[in-house]
Amino acid sequence: MIRPNQTGFTLVELLLALALFGFVLVFAVSGFVQVNRSYNKGITVKRVQETGRAVIEDIARSLRLAGDPGSVRVCDVDDQQGCSGNFRLCLPGVRYGWSDGSTGEEFTSAGDIKKNWLVRSDTASGCNSAFGQAEAESFLEDDLIVQELNITWLIGTSAYKIDLTLSTGDTTLITNSGKRCKGAAQVSGSQYCDVVNLSTTVTIR
């Protein structure tokens, strides 16, 4: 009796094919995840750097146009001008307020407390008074933190030095000093670490 030709895959061949397909699938998914992670990290880094530059340029421009060094009032980490712990820069016609990322401070007229904010107001209010929500222009998105903002008068001159350290908001990825990311620990889930340190010197006209 003549049997018809029987074609097909053996069990071993099917298992090998499934293993190969699984390997290719895992490789493709891993590559996609890595590319997506790199893209998101690049976006985060760009956003932090652009925000930092915008802050520095805005404050520098306001200082440059202040007119008289005696009209500048700075209350930063040294609090030498009695601002009761509030972080302020007050100039003729404009004032800035910020937090250092660790302590809450009144920001809105509704009395909200935020730990990370940096705002500008063009209204004439007391230097140490709270910022109303309607008057304040915010520089920061919710996931950015001002680690440090110091504005230092260069004694004997009409110049000020501005030092800004801005970071992403996941503090578990930042060193205790707030100046850089913790070594290789720069990614936590979907969060990325980036710290930008900017400095400039401005002469008042």
pLDDT tens by residue, 113-137: 455 788 898 876 677 777 777 778 8
Residue that wins the pLDDT comparison between 98 and 84 = 98
Average pLDDT over residues 78-87: 64
Band of residue 45 on the pLDDT scale cut at 50, 70, 90? confident
Residues 113, 104: contact at Cβ < 8 Å? yes
Q: Is 122 exposed, middle or buried (0-12, 13-18, 19+ CB in 10 A)?
A: exposed
DSSP-derived pairing of the beta strands 105-106 and 113-114: antiparallel
Residue 51's pLDDT is 92
Concatenated DSSP letters of 137-184: EE---TTEEEEEEEEEE-TTSSEEEEEEEEEES-GGGB-TTSSSBBTT
Section 159-170 average pLDDT = 87
Q: How high is the pLDDT of residue 161?
A: 94
Residue 111 pLDDT class (50, 70, 90 cuts): very low
Is the per-residue pLDDT at 146 higher than 70?
yes
**Which H helix or E strand runs over 94?**
strand 94-98
Average pLDDT over residues 76-101: 75
C-alpha closest to that of 114 among 135, 138, 79, 148:
138
Average pLDDT of the chain is 78
What pLDDT, on a 0 to 100 scale, did the predictor assign at position 79? Answer: 54
Average pLDDT over residues 51-69: 91
Report field, pTM of the whole predicted structure over 0.85: no
Residue 169 pLDDT class (50, 70, 90 cuts)? confident
Quote the pLDDT of residue 61.
Answer: 93
Which residues lie below 8 Å from residue 110, measured CB to CB, with a gap of 6+?
133
Residue 50 has pLDDT above 80, yes or no: yes
More confident residue, 112 or 31: 31
Q: According to the model, what pLDDT value does residue 113 have?
A: 45
Element housing 146 (H / E): strand 144-153
